[in-house]
Structure 1
Amino acid sequence: MITVGSTQLWVHDQDEALAFYTQKLGMEVRTDVTVAEMGDFRWLSVGPVGQADFSIVLMLIPGPPVMDAATADQVRDLMAKGFAGTLFLSTDDCNASYKELSARGVEFVEQPSEQPYGIDSSFRDPSGNHIRLTEVR
């Protein structure tokens, strides 16, 4: 059987992303390893508490030879617009989660609103990644 183990988000600053995902969203660190043999490449991942089989890799936008400067600029441009991908988070109570995360300093771009599928809201991380918080019915 094939399952989903992780997903990746591009970030501008791994330490800033780590603080956001752990301190503001309440996730836990899954992996934080720096590989000296690969130019101090840092593999950093976090995940929701209680969901050990899934992680979000917080990947620093690489330079050459992995990614040329023009492509890296395109990725940064898409991130600034919130179009480099979307992370969908589920909650049992969108309004309560909205209040809790707002109190921790998360700035929402959309407050919870009724949708045909449930209650939905959205915010962005410090790198600009679009995150939806949804209470699905």
Structure 2
Amino acid sequence: MSLTIHYAFLPATDHEASLAFYRDALGFEVRNDVGYGDMRWITLGSPDQPETSLVIEPPAVDPGLTDDERRTISELMAKGCYARVVLGTTDLAGTFERVQATGADVVQEPADQPYGVRDCAFRDPAGNLIRINQV
């Protein structure tokens, strides 16, 4: 059996700000932008990886969640510890400079990690942690 990652979902509280971060700062292409009532899902991905996409979605959109669960998700997002994704680049220094120049929230400048990778980290506009590894 062979499985591949097709979509990963990240919550967004401001879809326009998230769109600017993923499209303009990271260079992802917009693949789909769907609205439903006052909700919106934006599918983005690297032009070099057409089979894998990130979907920016409304937070706590699952209809099965309770009000307490929605509140907990909102609190975790506000602390920046609800969702994360790790990206890879062949030019970590250049990527860091490009993203930093957009005013993105820098969590960590490029550094060698004790677990064997060199990476940096940002928070997207919703507080999601975005780590970028040198590959």
Show structure 1 runs of 4+ deviating over 6 A.
none
The answer to whether 1:54 aligns with 2:52 is: yes
Give the TM-score, by structure 1 length: 0.85
- Report the CA distance between 1:120 and its aligned residue: 1.2
8 Å CA contact 2:25, 2:98 repeated in 1: no
Residue of structure 2 equivalent to 1:128: 127
SS in 1 for 2:126: coil
Residue of structure 2 equivalent to 1:9: 10
- Report the CA distance between 1:40 and its aligned residue: 5.4
Seq. identity, %: 35
1:40, 1:16 → 2: CA distance?
16
1:134, 1:19 → 2: CA distance?
21
8 Å CA contact 2:25, 2:102 repeated in 1: yes
- Partner amino acid for 2:133? T
Query: Aligned residues, how many?
Result: 133
1:22-69 deviations in whole A, cap 9, x for unaligned?
A: 11221111111224xxx4543321111221111101010246844332
With over 3 angstroms needed to count, the CA separation of the structure-2 counterparts of 1:2 and 1:64, relative to structure 1, is: closer
Q: How does 1:34-113 map to 2 (within 5 A)?
A: 34-35=35-36, 39=37, 41-62=39-60, 65-113=63-111
1:64, 1:133 → 2: CA distance?
29
2:33, 2:49 → 1: CA distance?
18
